[in-house]
Structure 1
């Protein structure tokens, strides 16, 4: 199941069940296709499921990290903290796979330039509203002087932006990083 769809289903679960699902999902590496087919058949009775889903592997640390990255920051942070109480090793492995907007600082200049070429400038401006000065400087250094000036102007003209909009813009950029990573 796509991480975006999984996050929608995940949001419907009770908080206690979320913790257990995260832990179980994080500790399984693959699932038999027969079992997956049975689950899909049962879910299709309750949800509009079109086509045959492509399940090759499911679960594991990467799947949990992808799911947490789809959730809002506060929910993700709380779930990870509670998971750490239950399974510190799993929690540490998941944290290593999580990627935040500020982690763009860790990218090599060439990689950051590749990411920025894929991102809409308006989206980039919104995403930078809560960025650290260090990250802003790195982004400005990764684009042409003219583009940097244009981006600075756009940032100033934006005015106040809702945190939810900033996080959505940042998540879009994180998705670009993940896509390019593959």
Structure 2
């Protein structure tokens, strides 16, 4: 690992991070807790990215305290040391929020992180931003990702953004830093908090992908031991029955991506309303074919039906993640799940 041996290569935030680490967890924490939230976040980023700093640089940066730190030697700024440092004066949830913000979505830089945010989510946020800001973002994230995001923005807004990209010269560093800071504090922090810290949502996502037998094995004892959590998880789960709440356009996209035989098996035994919701969004000929297949297949194993429904659910989730459809688990537009 490369050692930082020249203090001139450190910027102001990195120097502050070195001094705070050199002061030790207790003393450094007492000093750091006096900072504002955005300052804590900025210093934390620098601290986590320091790597190894030579003892010579440490001494140079804390000349007023040389007599105390002359034997300090090397120190290392890593994610683990940063997390322990923050835990001295912040709540566990706050520490996890900051650390998750630094670790993900995948990517070390702000723009790498933005390039890993689902395009539908990013487009929804950006449509309320100034066209110039959107133009800057589009030029910094991966081109293929920018293309998908632009395709989800209103046409009149796209034209304004494209015009600004074409006319854009080199973006001043201070302007770019302001955009990065805004995105980090207003968007990425909320994005990570929403997606990364709801344990019930994580459990619901896991259970969405399990077979019914395993689902029952997990949920039955959970309902006895932790009824409130079980209820919350069920509310967050997206089930096959929730497909009945999809808009006609979304159900048509789903049908086009499903195997006909598998769809017929999945619809076997469902109430008439659910069957009609699917078959009514197919052409008359295709709908009749599926109806005939359902009638001709006779009795089938419940496990086969469940497997077919789980496969279609996975297809729906993938289409949602690709931004092709919107899905909801409660029929309420205000609680629409956007992937």
Aligned residues: 133
Separation (CA, whole Å) in 2 of partners of 1:98 and 1:64: 9
SS at match of 2:268: helix
The residue number in structure 2 matching 1:91 is 230
User: Would the alpha carbon gap of residues 89 and 73 (structure 1) be closer, same or farther in structure 2, given more than 3 Å must change?
Assistant: same
Per the TM alignment, residue 58 of structure 1 is displaced from its structure 2 partner at its CA by: 8.4
The residue number in structure 2 matching 1:166 is 305
CA contact (8 A) 2:211 2:307 kept: no
Separation (CA, whole Å) in 1 of partners of 2:200 and 2:307: 23
Separation (CA, whole Å) in 1 of partners of 2:315 and 2:268: 19
Compare 147-156 and 71-80 and name the one that shifted more.
71-80
* Unaligned 5+ runs, structure 2: 1-95, 101-194, 322-339
- C-alpha distance after superposition, 1:60-103 (max 9, x if no partner): 22331232233332441352243234334432321122122222
Q: When you count helix as a share of all residues, which structure comes out higher? A: 1
Asked whether 1:177 is paired with 2:316, we answer yes
Compare 56-65 and 166-175 and name the one that shifted more.
56-65
Separation (CA, whole Å) in 2 of partners of 1:116 and 1:62: 27
Separation (CA, whole Å) in 2 of partners of 1:85 and 1:157: 41
- C-alpha distance after superposition, 1:102-141 (max 9, x if no partner): 2211111111111111100010011111211110011111
Give matches, 1:74-89, under 5 Å: 74-89=213-228
CA contact (8 A) 1:129 1:155 kept: yes
The residue number in structure 2 matching 1:70 is 209
TM-score (norm 1): 0.63
Separation (CA, whole Å) in 2 of partners of 1:112 and 1:57: 29
User: Would the alpha carbon gap of residues 179 and 58 (structure 1) be closer, same or farther in structure 2, given more than 3 Å must change?
Assistant: farther
Separation (CA, whole Å) in 2 of partners of 1:166 and 1:122: 11
Separation (CA, whole Å) in 1 of partners of 2:239 and 2:308: 12
Separation (CA, whole Å) in 1 of partners of 2:228 and 2:299: 40
CA contact (8 A) 1:65 1:97 kept: yes
TM-score (norm 2): 0.35
Per the TM alignment, residue 57 of structure 1 is displaced from its structure 2 partner at its CA by: 5.5
Bigger relative contact order (CA 8 A; separation at least 6)? 1
The residue number in structure 2 matching 1:110 is 249
Separation (CA, whole Å) in 1 of partners of 2:199 and 2:298: 41
The residue number in structure 2 matching 1:60 is 199
Separation (CA, whole Å) in 2 of partners of 1:150 and 1:161: 18
2:240 to 101, 104, 108: 101
Asked whether 1:123 is paired with 2:267, we answer no
CA contact (8 A) 1:65 1:95 kept: yes
Compare 60-69 and 77-86 and name the one that shifted more.
77-86
Compare 95-104 and 138-147 and name the one that shifted more.
95-104
* Unaligned 5+ runs, structure 1: 1-28, 34-55
Q: Highest Rg: 1 or 2?
A: 2
2:291 to 152, 155, 170: 152
